[in-house]
Copies of this chain bind each other. A is one copy, B any other.
Amino acid sequence: MDQKLKIAILGAGNVGGALGRIWAAAGHEITFGVPNPGSPRVAEALAPLHGKGAAATNAEAARAADVLVLSVPWPAAKAAIEAAGSLHGKILVDCTNPLAADLSGLLIGLTTSGAEQVANWAPQARVVKAFNTIGAGNFGNAQFGAQRADGYYCGDDAAAKSVVARLTQEVGMDPVDAGPLRNARLLEPLALLWIDLAVNQRQGPNHAFKLLRR
């Protein structure tokens, strides 16, 4: 489990940028998959990786990758997956949330979820929902006094989930297995609760959910 991974991060925004920076520092090989690999915005995401990452099209990034990380805004998710080409047997970590643009709710849920939709778009991939229930500023910065933020994940492939658990620990969070992929129907509302407190209720991003056990 401690071998280095080739990780393609589809999307180089807040979430993908933060994950790429941290995983590059942990020794993984990071390639951002983006529509325009040479754009200034991509250069900005690459700068904190200190030469340890690259940018490519989604198809190029995906081809060599062990793990793909979907971290584009929800409306761009389907196109990003299509642009990645064949994902046969690849681990696809879905970090998205199907948010209404005004953050008033989720666009889908109850009888399906963003993650299940992603799995429909990428039927040959091993999809794990993760890194969606907390703001990206807490990646690598997840200590709250004596407690650590949890990283909830769910999926139907045990081996893929164990890779995600390791990647969760590498961003400083405690991995919590939240069950099968359909439980994204529960993790996506949890994400919106985090966002609602941070944005709609103006409490800022310095909070995190923790599952206490005894």
- Residues in B whose Cβ lies below 8 Å from that of A212: 144-145, 147, 149, 207-210
Partner of A106, one of B110, B145, B193: B110
Copy total for this chain? 2
- Residues in B whose Cβ lies below 8 Å from that of A144: 212-214
In the bound complex, CA of A183 to CA of B192 (Å): 9
Q: How large is the interface on A (under 10, 10 to 19, 20 to 34, 35 or more residues)?
A: 20 to 34
Partner of A197, one of B145, B179, B189: B179
- Residues in B whose Cβ lies below 8 Å from that of A185: 105, 189
- Does A179 contact B207, Cβ atoms closer than 8 Å? no
Q: In the complex, how many angstroms separate the beta carbon of A194 from the nearest chain B beta carbon?
A: 9
- Does B209 contact A196, Cβ atoms closer than 8 Å? no
- Residues in B whose Cβ lies below 8 Å from that of A105: 110-111, 185
A119 on the interface (CB 8 Å rule)? no
In the bound complex, CA of A192 to CA of B179 (Å): 12
Within 8 A of B (CB), among A176-211: 178-179, 183, 185-187, 189-190, 192-193, 196-197, 200-201, 206-211
Q: In the complex, how many angstroms separate the beta carbon of A57 from the nearest chain B beta carbon?
A: 35
Known: A108-B110, A110-B109. A206 touches B214 (CB 8 A): yes
CB-nearest residue of chain B to A106: B110
A146 on the interface (CB 8 Å rule)? yes
In the bound complex, CA of A93 to CA of B75 (Å): 37
Known: A110-B108, A189-B189, A197-B179. A213 touches B206 (CB 8 A): yes
In the bound complex, CA of A207 to CA of B211 (Å): 6
- Does B208 contact A179, Cβ atoms closer than 8 Å? no
CB-nearest residue of chain B to A207: B213
- Residues in B whose Cβ lies below 8 Å from that of A108: 110
Interface residues of A (CB under 8 A from B): 105-106, 108-111, 144-147, 149, 178-179, 183, 185-187, 189-190, 192-193, 196-197, 200-201, 206-214
> What are 10 A-B contacts defined by CB distance under 8 Å?
A110-B110, A144-B214, A178-B197, A179-B201, A186-B192, A190-B193, A197-B211, A208-B211, A208-B212, A209-B209
